[in-house]
Amino acid sequence: MRRPWSIRARTTLTFAVASMVLTAAVVLLVTWGSTLTLSDAYGSAVALQRSDAAEFGDAGGPEPRPGSEPSGSSGSPEGSAAAVVRVAAQTQWQWATAGVVAAGVLAGLVGWFVSRRVLLPVDRIAAAAERLSASTLHERIGLDGPDDELRRLARSIDDLLDRLETAFESQRRFVAQASHELRTPLAVQRTALQVGLHDGAGPAELVCVREELLEQNRRSEHLVESLLVLAEADRGLDGRTERIDLAALAHEVVLHAEDHAQRCTVRLTETVDTTSGLVAVTAEPVLTRQLLTNLVDNAIEYNQTGGAVVVRVRDDGLEVENSGPPVEPDEVAHLLEPFRRGRGAAPGRHSGLGLSIVTAITRAHGWTLAVVTRAEGGLVVRVRMTD
């Protein structure tokens, strides 16, 4: 059931109505008690005066005039009125005291009941928070009832738990994948040592083992460097930003990757599609260079013989397009995960972390990353850099 009023409004209205009802009850109680007592006192005084008047008439005294009261200290109008006022004042104080005490007790009971009802969802939220741990992140508060502040708070906490569960699951998967990737070159090195360096190994076999060990060492070194860059990107920028000429940076990265492109028989070009020929962005320089380097290296490695890679610098960011084998649209999201490798990679020291690092760097800067498949094969990766 959805209620448009908030807890604050409902609590205020509840206590306001309760206060008005209790106040009215106290006033009515005091008035009723005072009126009842005054009526009894007045009736007693009138009866006393009539009795005195009858005794006075029997003694032979003059008859009192119609409409007049008999004189005397005890039965005079002044004495009767003073007695009535004293009794009324005393009774009113008694009833007022009793009414205030009763109202205080009732207000306390109402406040206790309302506060318990209001704080019951808070107890549920606190109990759920106390049960949370790394192994119980799947639990949710699931608070029902009116759509008020507490339910919105519980919903926000549930959303936070969803993100935490996703992050923990991603971390577990990343650790498992990283362990597997680090274990593979170690197993290859052990196999090379056990098989290649047997007792009768000749010089040629020693050379082969040495080359294999060096290659696996380079692969492990590249993997560790990639993991460090990924951790650095996930840690955030911490204010380490400056103005960067994106066109100049793209030119440097392309020049550095030309040898790699030639070895893979891939044509590498760059274009600047801007109004001024200069794009300056505020970014962390080392991570930004790593982002562009990973995009260019991936575009070269995941290509085909005689393929092409185009690096475009635009007014709103940069774009890297490459030819290559066809990629299904459903596979694009998986390519951004750690240790995911696409089909058709050229031989090289590829760790499967290239696009993961690009994603982390983009997220750290608050940029937008879009990966689109080409109908003729290959990908178009766009990074929209908002300053």
SS3 (DSSP) at 201:
coil
**Quick check: is 346 in a domain?**
yes
- pLDDT at position 310 is 95
- pLDDT at position 334 is 77
State whether 334 and 267 are in the same domain.
Answer: yes
**Quick check: is 175 in a domain?**
yes
Bridge partners, residue 308, by sequence: 267
State whether 204 and 265 are in the same domain.
Answer: no
- pLDDT at position 68 is 46
Total domains present in the chain: 2
State whether 153 and 172 are in the same domain.
Answer: yes
| Residue 265 structural domain | 236-384
- pLDDT at position 341 is 66
Cβ neighbours of residue 294 under 8 Å, at least 6 residues apart? Answer: 354, 355, 357, 358
Task: Name the residue among 152, 145, 157, 155 with its Cα closest to residue 120.
Answer: 145
State whether 215 and 247 are in the same domain.
Answer: no
**Quick check: is 85 in a domain?**
no
**Quick check: is 358 in a domain?**
yes
- Distance CA(287)–CA(264), nearest Å, equals 25
Q: In the listed set 184, 208, 234, which residue is the last one of a domain according to the structure?
A: 234
Task: Name the residue among 369, 379, 366, 385 with its Cα closest to residue 249.
Answer: 385
Cβ neighbours of residue 385 under 8 Å, at least 6 residues apart? Answer: 246, 281, 283, 316, 317, 318, 365, 367
State whether 201 and 260 are in the same domain.
Answer: no
pTM given for the model: 0.54
State whether 244 and 328 are in the same domain.
Answer: yes
- pLDDT at position 347 is 47
DSSP 220-267: HHHHHHHHHHHHHHHH--TT--EEEEHHHHHHHHHHHHHHHHHHTT-E
Q: How many residues does the chain have?
A: 387
Contact 318, 369 (CB under 8 A): no
**Quick check: is 199 in a domain?**
yes
Q: In the listed set 183, 209, 234, which residue is the last one of a domain according to the structure?
A: 234
Give me the CATH number covering residue 347.
Answer: 3.30.565.10
Query: pLDDT tens string for the chain (387 positions)?
Result: 455 566 666 666 676 677 667 776 777 777 677 667 666 666 666 666 667 666 655 555 555 444 444 444 445 555 555 566 666 667 766 776 776 677 667 766 776 777 777 777 787 888 877 887 767 777 778 777 777 777 888 888 888 888 888 778 777 777 776 776 677 677 777 777 777 776 666 788 778 878 878 877 777 776 777 677 767 666 666 667 889 999 999 999 999 999 889 988 999 999 988 876 668 888 888 888 889 988 998 899 888 889 999 999 988 889 999 998 888 888 887 787 766 666 655 444 556 677 888 888 888 888 999 999 998 888 999 999 875
- pLDDT at position 331 is 82
Give me the CATH number covering residue 161.
Answer: 1.10.287.130
Alpha carbon of residue 71 to chain centroid: 87
State whether 316 and 194 are in the same domain.
Answer: no
- pLDDT at position 346 is 47
- Distance CA(18)–CA(115), nearest Å, equals 14
- Distance CA(182)–CA(178), nearest Å, equals 6
**Quick check: is 303 in a domain?**
yes
**Quick check: is 257 in a domain?**
yes
State whether 247 and 230 are in the same domain.
Answer: no
- Kind and range of the H or E element at 124? helix 77-131
**Quick check: is 319 in a domain?**
yes
Q: In the listed set 234, 259, 281, which residue is the last one of a domain according to the structure?
A: 234
Tokens of 84: 């009535």
State whether 207 and 250 are in the same domain.
Answer: no
- Distance CA(246)–CA(311), nearest Å, equals 11
Bridge partners, residue 380, by sequence: 321, 372
State whether 355 and 247 are in the same domain.
Answer: yes
State whether 157 and 251 are in the same domain.
Answer: no
Q: Is 257 exposed, middle or buried (0-12, 13-18, 19+ CB in 10 A)?
A: buried
State whether 281 and 354 are in the same domain.
Answer: yes
- pLDDT at position 220 is 75
